[in-house]
Structure 1
Amino acid sequence: LKERPTAIFCQNDRTAIGCYEALKEAGLHIPEDISVVGYDDEEIARHLFPPLTTSILPHMAMGQWAIEQLEAPPTPGRGRYPITKLECPLVERESVGRLGVRDATG
């Protein structure tokens, strides 16, 4: 891009691993040059360098919602279920920072 983005939000943590590698190959540093955020808080996220900021996929809440929908009596002509939003808490780690800020080692 003409102007490099300041952050990349990845579809999931595994995609973020590929993003880390591509950014390193391009000579960019996370989070000094660009921030990276994943989604689903897989175990690997806390072991990357730097550890990946990610959002938790709410498996239990999703399952609970699905069971509640199965228990609800069907409504004639209802069609699709309305959109339901569930909280996806952010797990803040070291892959997000202020643009252009480097520590003494970088």
Structure 2
Amino acid sequence: MDISLIMQYGTYFLTAIGLLACAVAIITQVIKELPGLVQLPTSGVAFVVSLILCPIAVLILCTWMQEPITWYYIFGAFIAAFMVYLVSTGGWDRLYDIWERTKYKK
């Protein structure tokens, strides 16, 4: 395997993680205000959204590429869901901390 091909796949992987993390964060913020989910912690909702969204994204990608769906694609999607969850929740918390530290206080 050529190093340029490995770099290309690595870039695709990081792009997919970033896009899925953005989607998880947006979906979480939208559905968090629903009446039944207000009492739940935001990180728990984000975790469940990530566990649902990542396998669905893999199934859509396999269908679009006309690739047979195998068990290890779904298993890999669940592993990637943990990474997507960590990126989506950690990114917002860090951004909020930076905002709080730089905000003007009287």
TM-score of the pair, normalised by structure 2: 0.32
Bigger proportion of residues as strand: 1
Larger radius of gyration between Structure 1 and Structure 2 = 1
TM-score of the pair, normalised by structure 1: 0.32
